[in-house]
Amino acid sequence: MPLVRVDIKRNPDPTFAKNVGKLIYAAMHSSIGVPENDNFQILNEHDEQHFIFDPGYLGISRSDNLVVIQITLSEGRTVEQKKLLYKTIADSLHAQMAVRLEDVFINLVEVKKENWSFGNGIAQYAL
């Protein structure tokens, strides 16, 4: 059960953030086996005063079109699976939405399965 948060500067295209989310879900489904319909996303657009980043950290030249993606998911994926996820997301955003590869920033937050409740006050994955 991933929870995806996407943050971008306000985009003139009102469908941009939702389309980014669709591509992220497809990448998670194909690269790390996220199940069908397991799609929970929070898409945020910010003005320039509320979207701060270093345009050159680690020698990567970022633009104002930066897409920040944070995915909280249950622990257990291998490093290879995570690398495939990063590449699949970046490549699909680049190919289908013209987002520069340098402008795809991804952070994974891994949690234990008992840290999820999908509703009804129940920890559905707790063993």
Which position among 2, 12, 14, 55 bears the catalytic label? 2
Segment 28-83, tens digit of pLDDT? 999 999 999 999 999 999 999 999 999 999 999 999 999 999 999 999 999 999 99
Domains and CATH numbers, the chain: 3-115 (3.30.429.10)
Segment 97-112, tens digit of pLDDT? 999 999 999 999 999 9
Q: Is 5 helix (H, G, I), strand (E, B) or coil?
A: strand
pTM score above 0.85: yes
Please indicate whether residue 12 is annotated as part of the active site.
no
Segment 64-73, tens digit of pLDDT? 999 999 999 9
Rounded Cα–Cα distance for residues 69 and 21 (Å): 9
Burial class (CB within 10 angstroms; exposed 0-12, middle 13-18, buried 19+) of 108:
middle
